Structure 1
């Protein structure tokens, strides 16, 4: 089949969560189909680095948009019925290129990754379309609204309501919907639309995320994530001020490494606290993970599946997570990772792993085995083949087709 794949972040190189999923989908689909990618880039550097996608697809179209313009477009939607997320990801030049592709190419399928770029093909129904919501973004904005103060909370609530309405329109308009976890499926099904929904979880590159080091630093903790993203900023701020001091009362040498690109000032200022290091972007996260005794994921706002949890487990670094960070992961609390939501409880579970090497090894080994059995990309993406088969019939005049699939029980 000829597939047009549209995504909101340029999928190469696959260095963060927003790129990892679409990149692996493109790579998988390209083994059997002709895939053309369309997306946006935020800087000339991103545009240049993205050229590597050419080895994984038949062709690609990308347009540059400045962050300033994106934010101005988002703000322009604030007082309208249009979600600001759509304004943020809209590039007229890309829209024109996509329209040209649709006019000149006979695509058998359109795959849209993330609701904010469905606007480019919302009115095109000449071939089957798949809406990969991944996370239900409206739910995330509802969480933001609950965690922020007025008037920001009101703006977030309005965005959540507008996105919820838009998600319903997309679910009805597209032939098939996919999401990242059963929790996201439950949210979409709660809309009462009776549309087909398939769960396609994220995976891990098991060959890349393999721990080749025997030892680790028993004093070292690590947090992974893009550090200009509010849930990550909130998580490390909370951990450094409320959890880390509790840990350091028993292990004064305990250190936290905050590893991730684009740390905002609020994150950089955390280095004023004892034992806190902020690295910014690094070429390879694995050496840092290998040194860590525990990977901490104290997210208070979260949805879907957290790549930081999967990657840490794959590296045999035991995870202590909050309930929101754990909710999308197909694993057993207490066996594959530890979970707690209170500052005292979270600190206690981190300390149990730091002080008890045998417990640490037990959780680490079990976590790796769980990832191997449930979260290889091959296991996660095989569902795409069964999903696409009935959609090819749709191109010949058949009806909607869909399923609700779980990869690992």
Structure 2
């Protein structure tokens, strides 16, 4: 098959959550099919770093869209029905190049990762159109609105409403939709659309994030992995540092809280002033900063979909303590594969127990690793994607909308939503 794969961030190198899923899909599809990737980069440097993606597909169509342009476009969408987050990802040049490529060479499948990128293909017909929502972003903006002060709370609430309407229109105009977790699938069902939705769990590379590492430390260590310019991570880490970590230090005075992630915001950098807290900033390889005796945390109060940081810690044999929201997207059993707490004292107690009990750490690490092998390996997840592609050639039951009628609906939706 010939596949057009459209994604919001140039997914190479796959070094952050928004890049890991599309990269693994592209690499997998490129082994069996002819894949053309269309995407965006923030800078020329990011564009150059992503050039190696060509090793995994036939062609890459990418444009640089600077952050200043993105923000201006998002602001312009405020008084319109178009979501700001969709306008943030709009590039007329990329749209033009996608159309030229599409009409020059027939594509059997159009695959879109991230709902904001659907605007590039709404009027392009194909035998199969798949919308990979990943997470349902309107729900994320709704959570943002509850955690920010006025006027941002009002702006985020409005964005959530606009985006939810847009997501529903997009879902109706594709043949199949996919998400990362059961919670996101439950959210998708509230759209009440006829388009089937399939769960494709995120995976983790057990050979790369191996438990067989020789990284040690002389101090009890708590680790957080993640980009530190992302608001949910900033909020979660500050919550842990200010409300949870003091309880741990009272019981284990020499404990170290290691924050491992690039682009730390000012609030994160300021945490260095708290005794016992280390902020690394960007590191070439996070594995070297996670001691085998460590405890990993995911103290997120705002979270959607699957937290790759949890999967990676589990794969490295590091026990995890997470909030309910952070753990929701992981197919794991609380109390067996990871520990879950939402109250500061309880969260601290779980961390303290794991730091003090080597046997408990080993048991939970092995249990978590076993669970990953059952539920979060990329080959198993991507076999689900293969099944969706295989279904494209099967006859459509008379009770379901035909692929042709879906194509017509997508063109109508494109006309209704186009602001460009």
Q: Give the TM-score taking structure 2 as reference length.
A: 0.93
Q: Which residue of 1 aligns with 2:139?
A: 139
The separation in 1 between residues aligned to 2:128 and 2:379, in whole angstroms, is 24
- 1:260-312 per-position Cα deviation (integer Å, ceiling 9, x unaligned): 11111111111111111111111111111235510010000001110000000
Q: Which residue of 1 aligns with 2:253?
A: 252
Which among 385, 399, 403 is matched to residue 402 of structure 2? 399
Is structure 2 residue 64 aligned with structure 1 residue 43?
no
The separation in 1 between residues aligned to 2:100 and 2:255, in whole angstroms, is 57
Superposition map of 1:10-409 within 5 A: 10-213=10-213, 216-217=216-217, 219-291=220-292, 293-393=294-394, 399-400=402-403
Which secondary structure does the structure 2 equivalent of 1:290 belong to? coil
Checking the alignment, whether the CA contact within 8 Å between 2:215 and 2:288 is kept in structure 1 is no
Alignment gaps of 5+ in structure 1: 402-409
Over 6 Å off, 4+ runs: none
Q: Which residue of 1 aligns with 2:418?
A: none
Checking the alignment, whether the CA contact within 8 Å between 2:9 and 2:19 is kept in structure 1 is yes
The separation in 2 between residues aligned to 1:15 and 1:361, in whole angstroms, is 28
Which secondary structure does the structure 1 equivalent of 2:364 belong to? helix
Q: Give the TM-score taking structure 1 as reference length.
A: 0.95
Checking the alignment, whether the CA contact within 8 Å between 1:54 and 1:60 is kept in structure 2 is yes
- 1:153-185 per-position Cα deviation (integer Å, ceiling 9, x unaligned): 000000000000000001100010000011111
Alignment gaps of 5+ in structure 2: 405-420
Q: Which residue of 1 aligns with 2:407?
A: none
- 1:58-116 per-position Cα deviation (integer Å, ceiling 9, x unaligned): 11100001111111111111121110111111111101100101110100000000001
Q: Note the C-alpha offset of 1:391.
A: 1.6
Which secondary structure does the structure 2 equivalent of 1:4 belong to? strand
Q: Note the C-alpha offset of 1:332.
A: 0.5
Checking the alignment, whether the CA contact within 8 Å between 1:290 and 1:315 is kept in structure 2 is no
Q: Which residue of 2 aligns with 1:406?
A: none
The separation in 1 between residues aligned to 2:293 and 2:347, in whole angstroms, is 17
The separation in 2 between residues aligned to 1:3 and 1:49, in whole angstroms, is 23
Checking the alignment, whether the CA contact within 8 Å between 2:200 and 2:382 is kept in structure 1 is yes
The separation in 1 between residues aligned to 2:380 and 2:285, in whole angstroms, is 25
Q: Note the C-alpha offset of 1:213.
A: 2.9
Q: Note the C-alpha offset of 1:151.
A: 1.2
The separation in 1 between residues aligned to 2:122 and 2:229, in whole angstroms, is 30
* Segment drifting more, 176-185 vs 368-377: 368-377
The separation in 2 between residues aligned to 1:75 and 1:334, in whole angstroms, is 45
The separation in 1 between residues aligned to 2:70 and 2:42, in whole angstroms, is 9
Q: Which residue of 2 aligns with 1:405?
A: none
Q: Note the C-alpha offset of 1:351.
A: 0.2
Which secondary structure does the structure 1 equivalent of 2:32 belong to? coil
* Segment drifting more, 336-345 vs 208-217: 208-217
CA RMSD of aligned residues (A): 1.6
The separation in 1 between residues aligned to 2:324 and 2:92, in whole angstroms, is 40
Which secondary structure does the structure 1 equivalent of 2:60 belong to? strand
Checking the alignment, whether the CA contact within 8 Å between 2:110 and 2:126 is kept in structure 1 is no
Q: Note the C-alpha offset of 1:392.
A: 3.6
The separation in 2 between residues aligned to 1:102 and 1:127, in whole angstroms, is 13
The separation in 1 between residues aligned to 2:340 and 2:268, in whole angstroms, is 24
